[in-house]
Amino acid sequence: MPGFKHRDSTGVAFWDERFEQAFMPWDRAGVPEEFQRFVQQAQAPLTTLIPGCGLGYEVALLADSGWDVTAIDFAPAAVAAAKQALGPHADKVVQADFFQFQPATTLQLIYERAFLCALPPAMNEAIASRWAQLLPPGGLLVGFFFIAETPSGPPFGIAREKLLSLLQPNFKCVEERLVEDSITVFAGREYWQVWQRKV
Ligand SMILES: C[S@@+](CC[C@H](N)C(=O)[O-])C[C@H]1O[C@@H](n2cnc3c(N)ncnc32)[C@H](O)[C@@H]1O
């Protein structure tokens, strides 16, 4: 593992130096099966935001399926790598801070993978309340949640009770399954969940 100068994962510099050195142990190098299935089974394209997109593999799947997708990341090195990897879909990736970003149109879907667990537990409430602010009633928060007790991070696991207490005030869980194609770091502790924004 390379030696890194930055240890605070709330800062841009933390992520930039890891992307610059291609040290990305969270990266799945593709779209997880549960999300592929979700997109295939959706009845209509959904206006989608991907916060903290990293290399943004999901962008190509969504754009090729006719979905309106915006992927954001606050780290310039992540944005540059994603744009390069996405070629014709590079314009879907925007450098922006999740906590400041204002979508151009009303969202129908937020996709979560390795963003909640990338930031320390002290940020959990801010993330959950921003998800709730960004989605209208009926909107969906879908993706992958690392439910685990971890002494340190990232990735920072979250206890199931904590996740429920964060989300249940504004969302209803309508689907949950243990993920079967997790990368090693998440294996056996990663859950696919679909949450619907309450009225
Ligand atoms: C662990 S990586 C996950 C990347 C991607 N979602 C994936 O599954 O491969 C976390 C990402 O969140 C980004 N990030 C962290 N804080 C952010 C913020 N406040 N706004 C936007 N992006 C942020 C980082 O730059 C990094 O690319």
Residues with CB under 6 A from ligand 1: 15, 26-27, 51-54, 72-75, 78, 97-99, 113-115, 118-119
**Angstrom distance (rounded) from CA 82 to CA 61:** 14
136 CA to centre of ligand 1 in angstroms: 23
Question: What would the pLDDT profile of 80-126 be if each residue is shown by its tens digit?
Answer: 999 999 999 999 999 999 999 999 999 999 999 999 999 999 999 99
Question: What would the pLDDT profile of 13-31 be if each residue is shown by its tens digit?
Answer: 999 999 999 999 999 999 9
Residue 88, C-beta contacts closer than 8 angstroms, at least 6 positions apart: none
Average pLDDT of every residue of the chain = 97
Question: What would the pLDDT profile of 27-64 be if each residue is shown by its tens digit?
Answer: 999 999 999 999 999 999 999 999 999 999 999 999 99
Determine the atom of ligand 1 nearest the C-alpha atom of 50. Answer: 6
Q: Tell me what pLDDT residue 1 has.
A: 66
- 131: closest CA among 145, 150, 151, 147? 145
The one-character DSSP state at 91 is G
